[in-house]
Homo-oligomer: A and B are copies of this chain.
């Protein structure tokens, strides 16, 4: 059965929050695990508002050390301590974040109730995390300071068991795992039961590419090619392309151009400059080159289905 793979948007504003929009943070929920991508100011409140359990987050990925992507982290860590967290927390980011957190801890005299392990990202394409079901790799962005996106990829799913096949051949529990992995089954009588009688094709592995702050670039095109869902920043509309270039950000049109070249199924736009009140032009502009473009805003959730 397909596991839940859901992206929840906690913030979508670029640089500075507005009265209605928080800055960047997203939750990737895969089955029972929660991964936090960026952690802007107010993230802990947004998590509570969206009823996402703070204590269930064990891995946090910070794209870069501009305030609008990490300033909610000290507050989240303080709250996890106050909530009595014991489990180790892993934080992945460009170098420098541990120093920031340490100075907050030292000044307030706080000794956190849990261990925090900081992992410095060294380059794009680095395998940061993996478990039985999925892996998370860094993607090198092009920005004013070192910045990484993240690719969350489901591993090849196990084949789906055909109940009638299993019952017919009274297959023992200890053989189930190898059958799910595609192996044939040898009965006590020496008969070989081909795997296709016992299982059906699983869904294609799903993936999500989160491309945080970046100028338009095709340098990581290969890494995001074929992703089911691509989030790509779209800070500006084409009418402000010159500012986008100056500030190493992208326009909605550029995000859509990359989505098209990468052959993704769906593009999510975000990281809107506070100058835009109405966001509908972002969708319009992006859809002119890639119809499956969608603006996302805080409170939105997108399910990635196979």
Which residues of chain A have a CB within 8 Å of any CB of chain B?
15-19, 22, 41-42, 44-45, 48-49, 65-68, 71-72, 74-75, 78-79, 82-83, 96-97, 99-100, 103-104, 107-110, 144-145
A71 lies within 8 A of B68 (CB):
no
- Please state the number of chain copies in the assembly: 2
A108 adjacent to B67 (CB under 8 Å): yes
Asked whether A96 lies within 8 Å of B100 as measured between CB atoms, the reply is no
Question: CB within 8 A of A22: which of B17, B45, B78, B97?
Answer: B45
In the complex formed, the residue of B with least CB distance to A15 is B82
Please measure, in the bound complex, the distance between the C-alpha atom of A220 and the C-alpha atom of B115, giving whole angstroms: 39
In the complex, what residues of B have CB within 8 A of residue A44's CB? 16-17, 41
- Our pick among B49, B82, B100, B144 for the contact of A19 (Cβ within 8 Å) is B49
Docked-complex contact A107 and B103, CB < 8 angstroms: no
Q: Report Cα–Cα, A165/B17, bound state, in Å.
A: 53
- Given the known interface contacts A42-B41, A74-B71, the answer about A16 and B65 at a Cβ–Cβ threshold of 8 Å is no
- A18 cross-chain contacts in B, Cβ below 8 A: 45, 48
Bound-state CA distance A41–B11 (Å) is: 15
A108 and B74 contact, Cβ closer than 8 Å, known pairs A41-B44, A44-B17, A103-B99: no
